[in-house]
Amino acid sequence: MSNAIHLHYEVSGEDFTRAGEASGLVKKTLKKLGYNSDAIRRVAIAMYEAEINMVIHAEGGYCDVDIYPDRVEILLADKGPGIPDVEKAMQEGYSTAPDNVRTLGFGAGMGLPNIKKYTDDMRIETTLGVGTNVYLTVIVNS
């Protein structure tokens, strides 16, 4: 596909303090490209939340980001335990995050609801014991 910029990031599950690096780099790239600031903010927040999820629940994975003139598509893929009940996970306040993560201010059960709020399309493919793919699209209104 022409006119697309493809970015790939490995997200380490070993170092929690590095979570959020990939979304930070995507934000930087979008700013350089001159995307409108609202779209950049939505991408940065949604991707950050998804990245944190990947680190908390699935010991990391990878992100593929495709930047088009009119939209940004993001895939976050992990080989974690999978989500047993997606509908429940989408509810505000529902969380299975462990206590050590909660003490850092995460695990409020707002991850997936926030991702949905800030994106124009969100799709979750998950298989228990195999992993989860989260597909996100943010439409850019110029």
- List residues near other proteins by CB under 8 A: 3-5, 23-24, 27, 29, 31-35, 37-38, 40-41, 44-45, 48, 67, 69, 142
Q: How far is the CB of 41 from other proteins (least distance, A)?
A: 5
Residue among 54 and 83 whose Cβ is closer to other proteins: 54
Residue among 79 and 117 whose Cβ is closer to other proteins: 117
Decide: 58 and 13 in contact? Cβ < 8 Å: yes
Residue among 40 and 122 whose Cβ is closer to other proteins: 40
Q: How far is the CB of 126 from other proteins (least distance, A)?
A: 26
Decide: 140 and 71 in contact? Cβ < 8 Å: yes
Q: Where are the alpha helices (DSSP H) in the chain?
A: 21-33, 37-58, 86-89, 99-102, 111-118
Q: What are phi and psi of 128, to 5 degrees?
A: -60, 130
Going 23 to 53 to 87 to 102, the CA torsion angle's sign is negative
Q: How far is the CB of 134 from other proteins (least distance, A)?
A: 18
Residue among 69 and 98 whose Cβ is closer to other proteins: 69
Q: How far is the CB of 45 from other proteins (least distance, A)?
A: 6
Q: Which residues pair with 72 in a beta bridge?
A: 67, 138
Which tokens hold the place of 34? 């001159």
